[in-house]
Structure 1
């Protein structure tokens, strides 16, 4: 019998769940978590040191965009610091993936001469950008802005989703109410027609009131004819006899 999940897949799933729980625990303790993506090791070490000195916990360090995506998916950090130009996958492409999946806000790290790339980065969904060299006075506010915007956007999305759900529920309730009303109207119309047909059977065929009703009921069941249709047939049959049908209404 083939394995549904291999031991390696189970371990990876367990590790991912543990990392997610660890990230949630850190968030509940107000510890800011961050993934740093910078291909130049010296710059990356300086950036990590600056973040840790300011109370951030670096949960992942990436040297390219693909690693940044994988670490972000694994750790669900509060924010991602992403260099624009990196090997394997550039920061803009990686930021677009992270933002599309709505995992974490991204702060792009760029040089002064990369104004065109800054525009591409914001188009990819980056919440803020910081120019090199890294300075606390620029980096830390950018991180706070990015996290704040990300939180506001997600709150708005949650609000929109709740509103859509309420509208959907209201539409369902309205539809059910309309169906009940239609059913009630059909039932009322059927009763009126059956009463009229019953009266005609009593007048023209000598049925008692109870006998006429039973005959309509039995005929409807035996011949599988809806009562409304049977009643209309009875009314149509006796309408040629010039009875005072208006008095039966």
Structure 2
């Protein structure tokens, strides 16, 4: 999968007390563009891993050795920007899904066939890429807001110190930035440094 022409490899964390289940999931993840896949056995290990590492998706095979896994799933979904998928026994599906869905936890009942697993992983991947695009747009908007604030601050300083009107200050910044082949933001910063 690509985002703006770049191939994106996602990072996955598998939390499973069962080696067999972890191996199965590890073999399925690369088909959905997951490159780095890490495996831990307990909720405690998962929490410690996530303190120091970012992942794009967490797959939890419940129950775990130290807790069922739903609390972990909800904690991760509410505190991280990653997809969370929890696998539970069929008889636990309704209860787990009911408690997890409002936090953004995707629940699948075991046994899971390969097609359904592939679709769920694809869904997580698509949602993660969408989140990444939204985060990039957010960063761009934040940068634009900061630029507008800097320019407005510079205009205010020009109005106070050189008695320009707002239109004159705006034109002064635009023209000087263009004449010097620099960004308006950079010229605004130089005005702020000069008059503060």
State the TM-score bracket (shorter-chain normalisation): 0.5 to 0.7
Task: Choose the corresponding residue for 1:157, options 135, 144, 150.
Answer: 135
TM-superposed CA distance for 1:40, in Å, is 3.7
Determine whether 1:145 maps to 2:120.
no
**How far apart are residue 106 of structure 1 and its match?**
1.8
TM-score, scaled relative to structure 1: 0.51
What is the Cα-based RMSD across aligned positions, in Å?
3.3
- Asked if 2 retains the 8 angstrom alpha-carbon contact of 1:59 and 1:77, the reply is no
Secondary structure of 2:163 counterpart: helix
Q: Summarize the alignment of residues 16-165 of structure 1 with structure 2, pairs less than 5 Å apart.
A: 33-49=11-27, 51=29, 59-72=37-50, 76-102=54-80, 104-113=82-91, 114-126=93-105, 128-165=106-143
Q: Structure 2 CA distance, aligned partners of 1:177 and 1:78?
A: 43
Aligned partners of 2:77 and 2:83 also within 8 Å = yes
- Of structures 1 and 2, the larger Rg is shown by 1
Q: Which has the higher contact order (CA 8 A, sep 6+)?
A: 2
Q: Bigger shift: 50-59 or 158-167?
A: 50-59
Closer, same or farther in 2 for the Cα pair 1:55/1:162, shift >3 Å?
closer
Post-superposition CA distance 1:184-212 (Å, at most 9, x none):
339xxxxxxxxxxxxxxxxxxxxxxxxxx
**Greater fraction of residues in helix:** 1
Hey, what does 1:204 align to over in structure 2? none
Q: Secondary structure at the match of 1:80?
A: strand
TM-superposition CA deviations, 1:91-117 (whole Å, max 9, x none): 233234433453642222123332121
Q: Deviations over 1:199-242 (max 9, x none)?
A: xxxxxxxxxxxxxxxxxxxxxxxxxxxxxxxxxxxxxxxxxxxx
**8 Å Cα contact 1:93-1:124 kept in structure 2:** no
Residues 50-93 of structure 1, C-alpha deviation per residue, up to 9 Å, x if partnerless? 55788866733222222223345566444321124323244233
Closer, same or farther in 2 for the Cα pair 1:48/1:153, shift >3 Å? closer
| Separation in 2, partners of 1:138, 1:57 | 21
Task: Give 1 or 2: higher strand fraction.
Answer: 2
Shift of 1:177: 0.4
Give the unaligned 5+ runs of structure 2: 1-5, 165-196
User: Aligned residue for 1:21?
Assistant: none
**TM-score, length of structure 2 as denominator length:** 0.62
